[in-house]
Amino acid sequence: MILGTLSVRLRLRGNRSLKEKRRIVKSLVTRIHNRFNVTIAEVCDNDLHQSAVLGVACVANDPAHVHSVLDRVLGTMASMFPEAECTPETREIIHL
């Protein structure tokens, strides 16, 4: 079993409130989860209205598949919200 994790920092420039941030993050989390069947959640910077850190996890039998899914998740995040700066922070592949 292969477990892949990815953390991504989103910079939401021009965002004025936590309510607006949570709307954006919730929409992104739901769309990514539904499209790629990965686990995704906001894991850091919960109380900052212009920043969010999202954690993504994927489990599969093949490390190449895990890398591919995480790459596509990252690309999709960047294309869904072009106004948000999307920066990968960490990526880890664990062989269990």
Rounded alpha-carbon distances, angstroms, from residue 5 to 13, 45, 56, 59, 92: 26, 18, 6, 9, 5
Q: Residue 24, CB half-sphere, CA atoms under 13 Å: how many?
A: 26
What CATH number does domain 2-95 carry, 3.30.70.360, 3.30.70.1120, 3.40.50.12280, 3.40.50.1970?
Answer: 3.30.70.1120
What are the residue boundaries of the structural domains of the chain, listed by start? 2-95
pLDDT at 58: 97
What does the buried/exposed string (b/e) look like for 45-84 if buried means 16 or more CB atoms within 10 Å of the residue's CB? eeeeebbbbbbbebeeeeeeebbebbeebbebbbeebeeb
pLDDT tens digits, 18-63: 999 999 899 999 999 999 999 999 999 888 889 999 999 999 999 9
